[in-house]
Amino acid sequence: MAGLRVAAYCRVSTDQTDQLHSLAAQQRYFSEYIAAHPEWEDAGIWADEGISGTSTAKRKQFRALMAAAENGEIDLILTKEVSRFARNTVDTLEYTRKLRAWGVGVLFLNDNIDTRAGEGEFRLTIMASVAQEESRKTSERVKWGQRRSMERGVVFGAPAPYGYRLIDGMLTVREDQAEIVRRVYDMFLEEGKGTHVIARQLTENSVPTPKEKRKNWSSTMVLRLLRNEKYCGDLLQKKTCTPDFLTHKKVRNCGQEEQVYLRAHHAPIISRTQFEAVQRELIRRSAGKTRHSARYWCSGKVQCGACGRMLTARRSVRRDGSVHIRWSCRACGRSAIQDDSLRMFIGMALQAAAPHPEHTIRALCAAWRAAEKQEDSRTPSCREEWRRRADILRELLYTAQTVYAQTVRLIIVHPQTVCIYFQGLCQPINIDRRRGSISDT
Protein backbone atom coordinates (compact mmCIF):
# COMPACT_ATOMS: atom_id res chain seq x y z
CA MET A 1 0.00 0.00 0.00
CA ALA A 2 1.31 3.45 -0.88
CA GLY A 3 2.24 5.77 2.02
CA LEU A 4 0.47 8.98 2.97
CA ARG A 5 1.72 11.74 0.66
CA VAL A 6 2.66 14.58 2.99
CA ALA A 7 3.55 18.14 1.91
CA ALA A 8 4.60 21.10 4.07
CA TYR A 9 3.91 24.80 3.73
CA CYS A 10 5.91 27.60 5.35
CA ARG A 11 5.89 31.35 5.05
CA VAL A 12 8.50 33.81 6.27
CA SER A 13 8.77 37.56 5.93
CA THR A 14 12.10 38.99 4.88
CA ASP A 15 11.87 42.04 7.13
CA GLN A 16 14.75 40.73 9.21
CA THR A 17 17.83 39.01 7.85
CA ASP A 18 17.77 36.17 10.34
CA GLN A 19 14.32 35.21 9.09
CA LEU A 20 15.81 34.41 5.68
CA HIS A 21 17.90 31.99 7.61
CA SER A 22 14.88 30.49 9.21
CA LEU A 23 13.33 29.71 5.83
CA ALA A 24 16.13 27.23 5.18
CA ALA A 25 15.78 26.08 8.77
CA GLN A 26 12.05 25.59 8.39
CA GLN A 27 12.46 23.63 5.18
CA ARG A 28 15.02 21.38 6.84
CA TYR A 29 12.76 20.97 9.84
CA PHE A 30 9.85 19.79 7.72
CA SER A 31 12.04 17.48 5.61
CA GLU A 32 13.27 15.80 8.76
CA TYR A 33 9.80 15.72 10.27
CA ILE A 34 8.41 13.92 7.24
CA ALA A 35 11.42 11.58 7.03
CA ALA A 36 10.89 10.63 10.68
CA HIS A 37 7.58 9.01 9.74
CA PRO A 38 8.30 5.89 7.69
CA GLU A 39 4.68 5.55 6.63
CA TRP A 40 4.82 9.03 5.04
CA GLU A 41 5.91 9.92 1.54
CA ASP A 42 7.53 13.35 0.97
CA ALA A 43 5.28 15.34 -1.37
CA GLY A 44 7.43 18.47 -1.27
CA ILE A 45 8.09 21.54 0.86
CA TRP A 46 6.37 24.71 -0.36
CA ALA A 47 7.50 28.11 0.86
CA ASP A 48 6.63 31.76 0.24
CA GLU A 49 8.92 34.47 1.40
CA GLY A 50 9.01 38.23 1.62
CA ILE A 51 5.29 38.81 1.76
CA SER A 52 3.77 40.16 4.94
CA GLY A 53 0.70 38.09 4.24
CA THR A 54 -2.33 40.23 3.59
CA SER A 55 -3.14 38.89 0.14
CA THR A 56 -3.29 35.28 -1.00
CA ALA A 57 -3.08 36.31 -4.64
CA LYS A 58 0.61 37.10 -4.38
CA ARG A 59 1.58 33.87 -2.65
CA LYS A 60 2.73 31.84 -5.63
CA GLN A 61 3.81 28.72 -3.80
CA PHE A 62 0.64 28.66 -1.74
CA ARG A 63 -1.44 28.73 -4.89
CA ALA A 64 0.71 26.01 -6.46
CA LEU A 65 0.24 23.90 -3.36
CA MET A 66 -3.53 24.31 -3.53
CA ALA A 67 -3.47 23.33 -7.20
CA ALA A 68 -1.46 20.20 -6.42
CA ALA A 69 -3.91 19.35 -3.64
CA GLU A 70 -6.85 19.77 -5.97
CA ASN A 71 -5.11 17.49 -8.50
CA GLY A 72 -5.03 14.76 -5.89
CA GLU A 73 -1.25 14.76 -5.48
CA ILE A 74 -1.31 15.35 -1.71
CA ASP A 75 -3.03 13.69 1.27
CA LEU A 76 -1.84 15.86 4.15
CA ILE A 77 -0.32 19.34 4.54
CA LEU A 78 1.92 20.21 7.48
CA THR A 79 2.24 23.80 8.59
CA LYS A 80 3.44 25.52 11.73
CA GLU A 81 0.78 27.95 12.87
CA VAL A 82 -2.73 29.03 12.02
CA SER A 83 -1.55 32.63 11.73
CA ARG A 84 1.02 31.66 9.09
CA PHE A 85 -1.31 29.69 6.85
CA ALA A 86 -3.81 32.27 5.59
CA ARG A 87 -4.33 35.95 6.24
CA ASN A 88 -7.54 35.72 8.29
CA THR A 89 -10.19 33.44 9.79
CA VAL A 90 -12.37 33.49 6.76
CA ASP A 91 -9.48 32.52 4.48
CA THR A 92 -8.13 29.85 6.79
CA LEU A 93 -11.50 28.20 7.19
CA GLU A 94 -12.29 28.51 3.52
CA TYR A 95 -9.03 26.86 2.45
CA THR A 96 -9.13 24.09 5.01
CA ARG A 97 -12.73 23.32 4.02
CA LYS A 98 -11.80 23.23 0.36
CA LEU A 99 -8.91 20.93 1.16
CA ARG A 100 -11.11 18.66 3.21
CA ALA A 101 -13.54 18.46 0.32
CA TRP A 102 -10.64 17.28 -1.82
CA GLY A 103 -9.74 14.73 0.86
CA VAL A 104 -6.69 16.65 2.08
CA GLY A 105 -6.04 17.24 5.78
CA VAL A 106 -4.07 20.09 7.37
CA LEU A 107 -1.94 19.56 10.46
CA PHE A 108 -1.02 22.74 12.37
CA LEU A 109 1.97 21.55 14.37
CA ASN A 110 2.41 24.39 16.88
CA ASP A 111 -1.30 24.69 17.57
CA ASN A 112 -1.78 20.92 17.63
CA ILE A 113 -4.78 21.00 15.32
CA ASP A 114 -5.58 18.29 12.80
CA THR A 115 -8.43 19.16 10.43
CA ARG A 116 -8.96 15.44 9.82
CA ALA A 117 -10.04 15.06 13.45
CA GLY A 118 -13.66 15.70 14.46
CA GLU A 119 -13.07 18.70 16.68
CA GLY A 120 -10.33 20.04 14.39
CA GLU A 121 -12.45 22.61 12.67
CA PHE A 122 -13.96 23.88 15.90
CA ARG A 123 -10.54 24.38 17.44
CA LEU A 124 -9.30 25.96 14.23
CA THR A 125 -12.15 28.47 14.23
CA ILE A 126 -11.20 29.57 17.73
CA MET A 127 -7.49 29.77 16.99
CA ALA A 128 -8.04 31.72 13.79
CA SER A 129 -10.43 34.12 15.54
CA VAL A 130 -7.81 34.81 18.17
CA ALA A 131 -5.21 35.51 15.48
CA GLN A 132 -7.63 37.85 13.74
CA GLU A 133 -8.54 39.65 16.94
CA GLU A 134 -4.85 40.29 17.49
CA SER A 135 -4.59 41.81 14.02
CA ARG A 136 -7.62 43.99 14.72
CA LYS A 137 -6.14 45.23 17.98
CA THR A 138 -2.92 46.21 16.26
CA SER A 139 -4.93 48.14 13.72
CA GLU A 140 -6.85 49.90 16.52
CA ARG A 141 -3.62 50.82 18.25
CA VAL A 142 -2.26 52.35 15.06
CA LYS A 143 -5.49 54.31 14.58
CA TRP A 144 -5.41 55.54 18.19
CA GLY A 145 -1.81 56.70 17.86
CA GLN A 146 -2.66 58.49 14.62
CA ARG A 147 -5.58 60.22 16.26
CA ARG A 148 -3.47 61.52 19.14
CA SER A 149 -0.96 62.86 16.60
CA MET A 150 -3.75 64.45 14.59
CA GLU A 151 -5.05 66.22 17.67
CA ARG A 152 -1.57 67.58 18.20
CA GLY A 153 -1.81 68.92 14.66
CA VAL A 154 0.46 66.56 12.77
CA VAL A 155 -0.76 66.47 9.17
CA PHE A 156 -1.45 63.03 7.73
CA GLY A 157 -1.82 62.18 4.10
CA ALA A 158 0.54 63.32 1.39
CA PRO A 159 0.88 65.26 -0.86
CA ALA A 160 0.60 68.80 0.49
CA PRO A 161 -2.30 70.87 -0.86
CA TYR A 162 -1.62 73.37 -3.64
CA GLY A 163 -0.04 76.45 -2.06
CA TYR A 164 1.66 74.59 0.77
CA ARG A 165 4.67 72.45 1.51
CA LEU A 166 4.44 69.55 3.95
CA ILE A 167 7.62 69.29 6.00
CA ASP A 168 7.71 66.92 9.00
CA GLY A 169 3.92 67.02 9.33
CA MET A 170 3.82 70.85 9.24
CA LEU A 171 2.21 72.99 6.53
CA THR A 172 4.19 76.02 5.36
CA VAL A 173 3.09 78.48 2.68
CA ARG A 174 4.62 78.06 -0.76
CA GLU A 175 4.45 81.61 -2.11
CA ASP A 176 4.43 80.97 -5.91
CA GLN A 177 1.36 78.72 -5.62
CA ALA A 178 -0.25 80.70 -2.78
CA GLU A 179 -0.50 83.65 -5.14
CA ILE A 180 -2.53 81.56 -7.58
CA VAL A 181 -4.87 80.47 -4.76
CA ARG A 182 -5.50 84.14 -3.81
CA ARG A 183 -6.08 84.97 -7.47
CA VAL A 184 -8.67 82.16 -7.79
CA TYR A 185 -10.57 83.38 -4.71
CA ASP A 186 -10.61 86.95 -6.07
CA MET A 187 -11.76 85.86 -9.52
CA PHE A 188 -14.62 83.90 -7.95
CA LEU A 189 -15.75 86.41 -5.34
CA GLU A 190 -14.71 89.88 -6.55
CA GLU A 191 -14.96 89.33 -10.30
CA GLY A 192 -17.94 86.98 -10.04
CA LYS A 193 -16.48 84.39 -12.39
CA GLY A 194 -17.58 80.76 -12.41
CA THR A 195 -15.33 77.77 -11.95
CA HIS A 196 -15.34 76.93 -15.68
CA VAL A 197 -14.24 80.43 -16.68
CA ILE A 198 -11.55 80.50 -14.00
CA ALA A 199 -10.21 77.12 -15.14
CA ARG A 200 -10.08 78.26 -18.78
CA GLN A 201 -8.28 81.51 -17.97
CA LEU A 202 -5.69 79.74 -15.78
CA THR A 203 -5.01 77.25 -18.58
CA GLU A 204 -4.71 80.07 -21.15
CA ASN A 205 -2.15 81.76 -18.93
CA SER A 206 -0.19 78.47 -18.58
CA VAL A 207 -0.50 78.48 -14.80
CA PRO A 208 0.80 75.16 -13.41
CA THR A 209 -2.05 72.95 -12.13
CA PRO A 210 -2.20 71.16 -8.77
CA LYS A 211 -1.55 67.91 -10.63
CA GLU A 212 1.97 67.68 -11.95
CA LYS A 213 1.07 65.68 -15.02
CA ARG A 214 -1.94 67.75 -16.03
CA LYS A 215 -1.50 70.88 -18.12
CA ASN A 216 -5.13 71.97 -18.19
CA TRP A 217 -7.11 73.28 -15.26
CA SER A 218 -10.54 71.73 -14.71
CA SER A 219 -13.52 73.27 -12.94
CA THR A 220 -13.21 70.51 -10.31
CA MET A 221 -9.66 71.61 -9.50
CA VAL A 222 -10.88 75.18 -9.05
CA LEU A 223 -13.79 74.03 -6.90
CA ARG A 224 -11.43 72.03 -4.68
CA LEU A 225 -9.30 75.14 -4.11
CA LEU A 226 -12.40 77.12 -3.21
CA ARG A 227 -13.66 74.51 -0.77
CA ASN A 228 -10.46 73.46 0.98
CA GLU A 229 -10.51 74.60 4.61
CA LYS A 230 -6.70 74.55 4.73
CA TYR A 231 -6.52 77.89 2.91
CA CYS A 232 -8.04 79.75 5.87
CA GLY A 233 -5.62 78.03 8.25
CA ASP A 234 -7.92 75.25 9.51
CA LEU A 235 -7.36 71.55 9.23
CA LEU A 236 -9.90 68.77 8.88
CA GLN A 237 -8.31 65.39 9.47
CA LYS A 238 -9.76 62.00 8.63
CA LYS A 239 -11.45 62.97 5.40
CA THR A 240 -10.98 59.33 4.47
CA CYS A 241 -10.81 56.24 6.66
CA THR A 242 -10.00 52.56 6.40
CA PRO A 243 -12.92 50.73 8.03
CA ASP A 244 -11.72 47.28 6.95
CA PHE A 245 -8.51 46.37 8.73
CA LEU A 246 -8.06 43.33 6.50
CA THR A 247 -8.15 44.98 3.09
CA HIS A 248 -6.84 48.39 4.23
CA LYS A 249 -9.05 50.00 1.61
CA LYS A 250 -9.59 53.76 1.95
CA VAL A 251 -13.09 55.16 1.73
CA ARG A 252 -14.49 58.65 2.16
CA ASN A 253 -15.31 59.26 5.83
CA CYS A 254 -18.99 60.11 6.00
CA GLY A 255 -19.29 59.79 9.73
CA GLN A 256 -18.06 56.22 10.24
CA GLU A 257 -15.15 57.65 12.17
CA GLU A 258 -14.91 60.84 14.17
CA GLN A 259 -13.18 63.66 12.32
CA VAL A 260 -10.68 66.06 13.85
CA TYR A 261 -11.18 69.75 13.07
CA LEU A 262 -8.45 72.16 14.16
CA ARG A 263 -8.99 75.92 13.83
CA ALA A 264 -6.05 78.25 13.12
CA HIS A 265 -3.73 75.28 12.75
CA HIS A 266 -1.27 76.80 10.29
CA ALA A 267 -0.54 80.03 8.36
CA PRO A 268 -3.58 80.93 6.20
CA ILE A 269 -3.42 81.97 2.55
CA ILE A 270 -6.98 83.33 2.51
CA SER A 271 -8.56 85.39 5.31
CA ARG A 272 -11.34 83.67 7.24
CA THR A 273 -13.79 86.37 6.18
CA GLN A 274 -13.07 85.82 2.51
CA PHE A 275 -13.11 82.03 2.86
CA GLU A 276 -16.51 82.09 4.57
CA ALA A 277 -17.85 84.53 1.97
CA VAL A 278 -16.77 82.12 -0.76
CA GLN A 279 -18.52 79.19 0.97
CA ARG A 280 -21.75 81.20 1.20
CA GLU A 281 -21.40 82.26 -2.43
CA LEU A 282 -20.85 78.65 -3.54
CA ILE A 283 -24.09 77.62 -1.86
CA ARG A 284 -25.96 80.64 -3.24
CA ARG A 285 -24.84 79.97 -6.82
CA SER A 286 -25.54 76.25 -6.70
CA ALA A 287 -29.03 76.79 -5.28
CA GLY A 288 -30.18 78.42 -8.49
CA LYS A 289 -29.28 75.46 -10.65
CA THR A 290 -31.28 72.28 -10.72
CA ARG A 291 -28.49 69.79 -10.57
CA HIS A 292 -29.03 66.50 -12.31
CA SER A 293 -28.46 64.42 -9.19
CA ALA A 294 -30.47 66.59 -6.79
CA ARG A 295 -33.67 65.36 -8.39
CA TYR A 296 -33.37 62.04 -6.64
CA TRP A 297 -34.62 61.50 -3.15
CA CYS A 298 -31.38 60.48 -1.46
CA SER A 299 -28.60 61.58 -3.74
CA GLY A 300 -25.33 62.27 -2.01
CA LYS A 301 -26.14 59.65 0.61
CA VAL A 302 -25.65 56.40 -1.28
CA GLN A 303 -22.06 55.23 -1.15
CA CYS A 304 -20.15 52.53 -3.03
CA GLY A 305 -19.00 49.84 -0.62
CA ALA A 306 -16.06 48.99 -2.87
CA CYS A 307 -14.42 52.38 -3.45
CA GLY A 308 -16.27 54.83 -1.19
CA ARG A 309 -17.49 57.20 -3.90
CA MET A 310 -21.10 58.31 -4.06
CA LEU A 311 -23.39 56.36 -6.35
CA THR A 312 -25.29 58.27 -8.98
CA ALA A 313 -28.83 57.64 -10.17
CA ARG A 314 -29.68 57.05 -13.83
CA ARG A 315 -33.17 57.27 -15.19
CA SER A 316 -34.27 55.29 -18.15
CA VAL A 317 -37.67 54.90 -19.75
CA ARG A 318 -38.76 51.38 -20.60
CA ARG A 319 -40.55 50.49 -23.81
CA ASP A 320 -43.91 50.43 -22.03
CA GLY A 321 -43.27 54.00 -20.86
CA SER A 322 -42.52 53.18 -17.22
CA VAL A 323 -39.60 54.95 -15.60
CA HIS A 324 -36.74 52.92 -14.24
CA ILE A 325 -34.05 54.25 -11.89
CA ARG A 326 -30.77 52.51 -11.12
CA TRP A 327 -27.95 53.62 -8.80
CA SER A 328 -24.40 52.75 -9.80
CA CYS A 329 -20.78 53.64 -9.11
CA ARG A 330 -19.23 55.53 -11.99
CA ALA A 331 -15.79 55.34 -10.43
CA CYS A 332 -15.23 51.60 -10.07
CA GLY A 333 -18.43 50.14 -11.51
CA ARG A 334 -18.58 47.49 -8.82
CA SER A 335 -21.71 48.64 -6.97
CA ALA A 336 -25.18 48.99 -8.34
CA ILE A 337 -28.73 48.76 -7.03
CA GLN A 338 -32.22 49.30 -8.38
CA ASP A 339 -34.00 52.31 -6.91
CA ASP A 340 -37.05 50.15 -6.12
CA SER A 341 -34.96 47.74 -4.04
CA LEU A 342 -33.22 50.59 -2.29
CA ARG A 343 -36.57 52.13 -1.27
CA MET A 344 -37.82 48.78 -0.07
CA PHE A 345 -34.66 48.25 2.02
CA ILE A 346 -34.98 51.70 3.58
CA GLY A 347 -38.57 50.86 4.47
CA MET A 348 -37.40 47.68 6.16
CA ALA A 349 -34.63 49.48 8.00
CA LEU A 350 -37.12 52.10 9.16
CA GLN A 351 -39.34 49.45 10.68
CA ALA A 352 -36.34 48.08 12.51
CA ALA A 353 -35.13 51.51 13.66
CA ALA A 354 -38.45 53.13 14.52
CA PRO A 355 -41.28 51.31 16.28
CA HIS A 356 -44.00 50.07 14.00
CA PRO A 357 -47.18 52.06 14.78
CA GLU A 358 -49.74 49.26 14.64
CA HIS A 359 -47.71 46.85 16.77
CA THR A 360 -47.08 49.48 19.39
CA ILE A 361 -50.71 50.56 19.53
CA ARG A 362 -51.93 47.00 19.92
CA ALA A 363 -49.48 46.40 22.76
CA LEU A 364 -50.44 49.62 24.54
CA CYS A 365 -54.17 49.04 24.18
CA ALA A 366 -53.77 45.63 25.73
CA ALA A 367 -51.92 47.22 28.63
CA TRP A 368 -54.61 49.85 29.13
CA ARG A 369 -57.35 47.26 29.11
CA ALA A 370 -55.56 45.26 31.73
CA ALA A 371 -55.03 48.31 33.92
CA GLU A 372 -58.59 49.55 33.61
CA LYS A 373 -60.25 46.19 34.10
CA GLN A 374 -61.09 47.03 37.69
CA GLU A 375 -63.09 50.01 36.56
CA ASP A 376 -66.03 49.49 34.28
CA SER A 377 -64.28 49.36 30.92
CA ARG A 378 -67.40 48.54 28.97
CA THR A 379 -68.97 51.97 29.29
CA PRO A 380 -69.09 53.83 25.98
CA SER A 381 -67.23 56.84 27.35
CA CYS A 382 -64.30 54.68 28.36
CA ARG A 383 -64.03 53.03 24.92
CA GLU A 384 -64.27 56.47 23.39
CA GLU A 385 -61.31 57.52 25.48
CA TRP A 386 -59.22 54.55 24.27
CA ARG A 387 -59.97 55.37 20.68
CA ARG A 388 -59.00 58.98 21.21
CA ARG A 389 -55.68 57.99 22.81
CA ALA A 390 -54.94 55.45 20.11
CA ASP A 391 -55.44 58.10 17.44
CA ILE A 392 -53.03 60.49 19.12
CA LEU A 393 -50.48 57.72 19.50
CA ARG A 394 -50.84 56.59 15.91
CA GLU A 395 -50.20 60.10 14.70
CA LEU A 396 -47.15 60.44 16.93
CA LEU A 397 -45.70 57.17 15.73
CA TYR A 398 -46.26 57.92 12.07
CA THR A 399 -44.58 61.27 12.60
CA ALA A 400 -41.66 59.46 14.24
CA GLN A 401 -41.34 57.23 11.18
CA THR A 402 -41.42 60.18 8.85
CA VAL A 403 -38.74 61.89 10.87
CA TYR A 404 -36.59 58.77 10.74
CA ALA A 405 -37.06 58.57 6.98
CA GLN A 406 -35.61 62.05 6.70
CA THR A 407 -32.64 61.18 8.87
CA VAL A 408 -31.05 58.53 6.70
CA ARG A 409 -27.47 59.68 7.04
CA LEU A 410 -25.66 57.25 4.78
CA ILE A 411 -26.36 54.15 2.76
CA ILE A 412 -23.43 51.91 1.83
CA VAL A 413 -24.07 49.46 -0.97
CA HIS A 414 -22.05 46.24 -0.80
CA PRO A 415 -22.42 43.24 -3.13
CA GLN A 416 -24.26 41.16 -0.50
CA THR A 417 -25.52 43.76 1.95
CA VAL A 418 -26.80 47.31 2.17
CA CYS A 419 -25.85 49.19 5.37
CA ILE A 420 -28.18 52.01 6.35
CA TYR A 421 -27.00 54.61 8.87
CA PHE A 422 -29.56 56.80 10.61
CA GLN A 423 -28.90 60.12 12.25
CA GLY A 424 -28.41 59.49 15.95
CA LEU A 425 -28.00 55.72 15.69
CA CYS A 426 -24.39 54.51 15.94
CA GLN A 427 -24.92 51.07 14.44
CA PRO A 428 -26.14 50.71 10.88
CA ILE A 429 -29.09 48.52 10.00
CA ASN A 430 -27.83 45.88 7.59
CA ILE A 431 -30.01 44.34 4.94
CA ASP A 432 -29.14 41.06 3.25
CA ARG A 433 -29.74 41.86 -0.42
CA ARG A 434 -30.27 38.32 -1.61
CA ARG A 435 -32.69 37.30 1.12
CA GLY A 436 -34.20 40.78 1.37
CA SER A 437 -34.19 40.77 5.16
CA ILE A 438 -32.42 42.41 8.10
CA SER A 439 -29.18 40.60 8.91
CA ASP A 440 -27.63 40.48 12.36
CA THR A 441 -24.03 40.85 11.33
Q: Which residues of the chain form contacts with Zn ion (CB under 5 A)? A: 304, 306-307, 329, 331-332
Nearest in space to 240 (alpha carbons), one of 248, 250, 231: 250
d(C-alpha 173, C-alpha 326), whole Å: 45
* Rounded least distance, CB 332 to Zn ion, Å: 3
Which residue, 178 or 302, is less far from Zn ion as judged by CB? 302
Peptide bond preceding 159 in cis form (omega within 30 of 0): yes
Give the distance, in angstroms, between the CA of residue 177 and the centroid of all CA atoms in the same chain. 34
Which residue, 171 or 302, is less far from Zn ion as judged by CB? 302
* Rounded least distance, CB 157 to Zn ion, Å: 20
* Rounded least distance, CB 338 to Zn ion, Å: 17
d(C-alpha 143, C-alpha 237), whole Å: 13
Which residue, 332 or 371, is less far from Zn ion as judged by CB? 332
Q: Which amino acid is at 359?
A: H
Q: Which amino acid is at 220?
A: T
Which residue, 236 or 307, is less far from Zn ion as judged by CB? 307
d(C-alpha 88, C-alpha 53), whole Å: 9
With contact defined as beta carbons under 8 Å apart, do 259 and 253 qualify?
yes
* Rounded least distance, CB 308 to Zn ion, Å: 7
In degrees rounded to 5, what are phi and psi of residue 230?
-65, -25
Which residue, 187 or 302, is less far from Zn ion as judged by CB? 302
Which residue, 124 or 329, is less far from Zn ion as judged by CB? 329
Which residue, 131 or 304, is less far from Zn ion as judged by CB? 304
d(C-alpha 55, C-alpha 246), whole Å: 9
Q: Which amino acid is at 258?
A: E
* Rounded least distance, CB 252 to Zn ion, Å: 11
* Rounded least distance, CB 220 to Zn ion, Å: 18
* Rounded least distance, CB 248 to Zn ion, Å: 16
Mapped onto helix, strand or coil, the DSSP state of residue 332 is coil
Name residues whose C-beta falls within 8 Å of residue 113's C-beta, 6 or more positions apart in sequence: 82, 106, 107, 120, 123, 124, 127
d(C-alpha 114, C-alpha 34), whole Å: 16
* Rounded least distance, CB 256 to Zn ion, Å: 16
Residue 76 host element (H or E): strand 76-79
Nearest in space to 209 (alpha carbons), one of 197, 222, 223: 222
d(C-alpha 249, C-alpha 242), whole Å: 6
Which residue, 160 or 307, is less far from Zn ion as judged by CB? 307
d(C-alpha 146, C-alpha 142), whole Å: 6
Which residue, 332 or 396, is less far from Zn ion as judged by CB? 332
* Rounded least distance, CB 249 to Zn ion, Å: 11
Partners of residue 315 on adjacent β-strands: 325
* Rounded least distance, CB 416 to Zn ion, Å: 15
Which residue, 266 or 309, is less far from Zn ion as judged by CB? 309
Which residue, 53 or 305, is less far from Zn ion as judged by CB? 305
Alpha-carbon Rg of the chain, whole angstroms? 31
Name residues whose C-beta falls within 8 Å of residue 391's C-beta, 6 or more positions apart in sequence: none
* Rounded least distance, CB 388 to Zn ion, Å: 52
Mapped onto helix, strand or coil, the DSSP state of residue 78 is strand
With contact defined as beta carbons under 8 Å apart, do 159 and 171 qualify?
no
